[in-house]
Amino acid sequence: MYHAQVRRFGIVLLLVSVGLVVMGLGVGSTGFGSVGAMLDDAVARQIVWDIRLPRTLGAWTAGALLGLAGAVAQGLFRNPLADPFLLGSASGASLGVALFLVCFGVSPFATEWLVRIGLTGGAFLGAVGGVLLTLVLAKGVQHTLRLLLAGVIVGVVLAAAKELILLARPDALQPMQAFMLGSTAYVGWGAGALMAAAWLVCLASAWFLAPVLDGLSLGEATALSLGLPLQRLRIALVAVLALATGTAVAQTGLIAFVGLAAPHLVRSVVKTSHGRLAWLSSLVGGTLLMAADILARGILAPQELPVGVLTALLGGSYLLWLMHRQVGSGATPWR
């Protein structure tokens, strides 16, 4: 019965995603007119094929990465409030972008290396650096609570360092704001292919490591009694979390609540193991971010809203409603 529910839910999400892709092709300043003129107009074909389609698919892939990372984070920390940015990846990426903006043009040598790395490369390196700093501060992954606290501390410290840099160089505030609010506007075929490859690797790894999360959900002592090598497997889970989050953040900036809300939405519909939860959370995350991106493009067209603002509003509103419903029914919140 549960397998049939999971299958039906997955099929519905895929169908909704396909419908949103079609809708995304027609959302923009020229509307569906560009889609109809693709065969005869080279400009319309370029708008649809080189801008709208990769952006729409890139939004889905970024959301899938964040949804997957959220499911892994909540299973790893056994905390339904855990999100993908918990290990310092978001603040590390922000600091990496701030350093890139400040150092660009300082010297020919620095500029040459920064051009090679690129802004997305700086964000990815910053995200990975934040996670590594968290691991060093926590002295490994043996203690989940210490890892959690270390992530919070690293996040606060790196965010403060970023703010100090921006205070010293206020000219970097405007491009930094665009990164902080999140956007899929600059996602092309190359970035989408990179995120798709990272998603496939992370999804396969999460599926393979799902028995560890199932064991941890029963308690650490139970997981150890099952003979699971927790330390090595936790390191692998942290690597999956860092790769998924870092790749998404590097390409789209900071997009809030997708990784936190996606696993909750899945659990509110079906009860399943962490393996199926991971891929369903990916589908939900991709669907949510693609829908938010289409709304961001269409509400005030030809103006655009930052997609990160919409995901925060929609995701936060959903979680507040879910908490209110569960508390009102007498159930334990977030279960």
Contact 112, 143 (CB under 8 A): no
Contact 80, 335 (CB under 8 A): yes
Considering just the CA atoms, what is the radius of gyration of the chain in Å?
A: 20
Q: By CB neighbour count within 10 A (0-12 exposed, 13-18 middle, 19+ buried), where does 245 fall?
A: buried
- Tell whether 251 is covered by a domain: yes
Q: Which two tokens stand for residue 24?
A: 């995304």
Gap between the Cα atoms of 255 and 206, Å rounded: 22
- Tell whether 65 is covered by a domain: yes
What are the CA-CA distances from residue 5 to residues 10, 79, 280, 286 (Å)? Answer: 9, 25, 11, 20
Contact 93, 311 (CB under 8 A): no
- Note down pLDDT in tens along the chain; length 335 residues: 567 888 899 999 999 999 999 988 877 666 655 655 565 667 777 777 888 899 999 999 999 999 999 999 998 888 888 888 988 898 999 998 888 888 765 556 555 555 566 778 888 989 999 999 999 998 877 777 888 889 999 999 999 999 998 888 887 787 788 788 888 888 889 999 999 999 999 999 999 988 888 777 766 666 666 666 777 888 888 999 999 999 999 899 889 889 988 998 898 888 888 889 999 999 999 999 999 999 988 887 677 888 888 888 877 777 777 777 766 555 554 44
How many structural domains is the chain composed of? 1
Gap between the Cα atoms of 165 and 173, Å rounded: 10
Residue with the two structure tokens 């410290």 = 157
Gap between the Cα atoms of 197 and 287, Å rounded: 18
Structural domain of residue 89, as residue ranges?
2-328
Q: In sequence order, which residues have a C-beta less than 8 Å from that of residue 250 and are 6 or more positions away? A: 93, 120, 121, 123, 124, 127
Among residues 6, 52, 2, the alpha carbon closest in space to that of 31 is found at: 52
- Tell whether 118 is covered by a domain: yes
- Tell whether 154 is covered by a domain: yes
- Tell whether 39 is covered by a domain: yes
Please, what sign has the CA dihedral across residues 219, 225, 228, 229?
positive
Tell me if the pTM is above 0.75.
yes
Helix (H, G, I), strand (E, B) or coil at 38: coil
Please, what sign has the CA dihedral across residues 282, 286, 287, 289?
positive
Among residues 26, 71, 63, the alpha carbon closest in space to that of 260 is found at: 71
Gap between the Cα atoms of 89 and 145, Å rounded: 18
- Tell whether 335 is covered by a domain: no
**H or E element, residue 200:** helix 189-217
CA 131 to chain centre: 15
- Tell whether 334 is covered by a domain: no
Contact 72, 243 (CB under 8 A): no
- Tell whether 53 is covered by a domain: yes
CATH assignment of the domain containing 186: 1.10.3470.10
Question: Peptide bond before 302: cis, by omega within 30 degrees of 0?
Answer: yes
